[in-house]
Structures are given as structure tokens and as C-alpha cells.
Amino acid sequence: MPTLVDSHCHLDFPDFAGEQAAIVARAKAAGVSRMVTICTRLRQAPQVRAIAEANEGVFWAAGTHPMHAAEEPLARIDELVALAALPKFVGIGETGLDYHYTASSAAIQQESLRLHVEAARQTGLPLIIHARDADADMARILAEEHAAGRFSCVMHCFTSGAQLAETALSLGFYLSISGIATFRSAEALRAIFTAAPRDRLLVETDSPYLAPQPHRGKRNEPAFTADTARFMAAHLGLAPEEFAALTTANFDRLFTRAAE
């Protein structure tokens, strides 16, 4: 498999404790030359930064995950902007809306999301969005905020409906394909990726979660980006080399600080 980028993983999570160097090595052996490890609680930014700085090809981003928005201090715009000066920092988030388990904190999630959007505007770095069971509010807020001032964005691990995909794509945003796209039950999701402009597609693992076939049910890791890429290349009628080149070029266009 030619060179790929895992645009979203979580190398600081306990599942990977003490194994980061080996995980990065396995990823590179599988053709995944770069990856972005995501901080989901800003107080953990130093640990995530350290992992990125210790490993070649690893970059990082930080924000407050929507499921943590009610239990963590509200992010400050100046705090997020200051992170942009740090080595290998390439994006704002992940942030977003998640009403699946945490709908009771919808108001604070929306406030947190808007703060992250403003930080993305001020830094020029891409916003990294998590969306689950909140399509209508997510589409509305992204459209409102983009009308108020442009910013770039990726809908990470996209599993939402066609309407949110259409809104995101109309704003110039990107959709990221995770291992969920390889599941037999994901026909509707694959149809969204098939219909999307190919210059707006990224690929990711969201590891340690959501391992693609044939690893489903196991701990996911960045090396498995190659499995999702092989599957999606075949689904889209592309050679593996074409899919890798396409998604890597898209990544470099969006995450300019991590571009080769």
C-alpha cells in the first residue's frame, strides 16, 4: 500500500500506554507515514504534545470533546490560539456536538463549539468536528458560523446523514472516512462518500476505537488505516495507489502545517 495519512487517532489514550513508539513503527510499516493524534481534554495537552514531538510523522491537535464539555472548564479562545504556536500543532479540536449520551449538555456543547470555531478562524487552522445524533443543530451552527467568518473544517469519522454531509460539503469542508465504512451495515454511509467530491475525502482510524474489517472488535491502531483505504479504494473503483494519493493530497491541502 502506498503512503497514507491517519488524519485522526488518540495515541495518548490508556489503550496505548507505553506502546506509542511500536504503534508508530507498525503504522509506517503498513504505509501510514503520518498521523494526527487528538487531545480531547485541554488539560491533557502536554501529554499529547510530548507524544507528537517524540515521534517522527506524528502531529497533534487539541480541543474539548463535546462529551466532556460539561465536566471540563470551558475552553478559552486565547488558550486555543496560544496552542497554535507550539511545535507540530496542526488543528483545533476535536469539538462538536454529541447528543447520543450527553444531550443534557447540548447548550454548553454549542457554546464550546462556537469558541473553537473562533479559534480556528483566528489561527487559520482546520476545525476538527465530532458529530453524533445532532445533525440539525450541527448543520445550523456550522452554516451560521461560516457566514459570520470563513474557516476550514473536517467532519471527522463522518457517520451522520446525507443532509449534514451536503451542508458540510457546500461550505467547503471535508469528510473523513473511518473503519465504520467497511462494516456490512454501512451501505448508506458508503453512498455518501461515493457521492462526495473526491477532493474532499480523508481517511482515519479514530483509534483505539472502530477497527475496520478484518480487525473489527479488536483494538484499532493507525496501521489499520491501510485496511480502510484498501476497502474504500475498491468501493470507489480506484487503485490503492490512487486512493492513497488522493486522500494524502486532500490532507495536505487541509492540514497545511503537517503537509510534506
Share of the chain above pLDDT 90, in %: 99
Please give the average per-residue pLDDT across 69-73, as a whole number.
97
Q: Taking 70 as the threshold, does the pLDDT of residue 1 lie above it?
A: no
Q: What is the pTM of this model?
A: 0.97
Task: Report pLDDT for 170.
Answer: 98
Nearest C-alpha neighbor of 189 from the set 222, 164, 226: 164
Q: Omega before 214 cis (within 30°)?
A: yes
Nearest C-alpha neighbor of 31 from the set 252, 230, 235, 202: 230
Report the alpha-carbon distance of residue 78 to residue 168 in Å, rounded: 26
Q: What DSSP assignment string belongs to the chain? A: ---EEEEEE-TTSGGGTT-HHHHHHHHHHTTEEEEEEEESSGGGHHHHHHHHHHSTTEEEEE---GGGTTTSPPPPHHHHHHHTTSTTEEEEEEEEEE-TTTGGGHHHHHHHHHHHHHHHHHH-PPEEEEEES-HHHHHHHHHHHHHHS---EEETT--S-HHHHHHHHHTT-EEEE-GGGGSTT-HHHHHHHHHS-GGGEEE---BTS-PPTTSTTSPP-GGGHHHHHHHHHHHHT--HHHHHHHHHHHHHHH-GGG--
Q: In this structure, are residues 168 and 153 in contact, taking their beta carbons and an 8 Å threshold? A: yes
Q: Taking 80 as the threshold, does the pLDDT of residue 2 lie above it?
A: no
Task: Report pLDDT for 260.
Answer: 78
Cα 259–46–83 angle (5° rounding)?
55
Q: What is the pLDDT of residues 169-191, one digit of tens each?
A: 999 999 999 999 999 999 999 99
Please give the average per-residue pLDDT across 111-125, as a whole number.
98
Report the alpha-carbon distance of residue 231 to residue 179 in Å, rounded: 9
Tell me which of 3.20.20.140, 3.40.50.150, 3.40.228.10, 2.60.40.10 is the CATH number of domain 4-10+17-221+246-258: 3.20.20.140
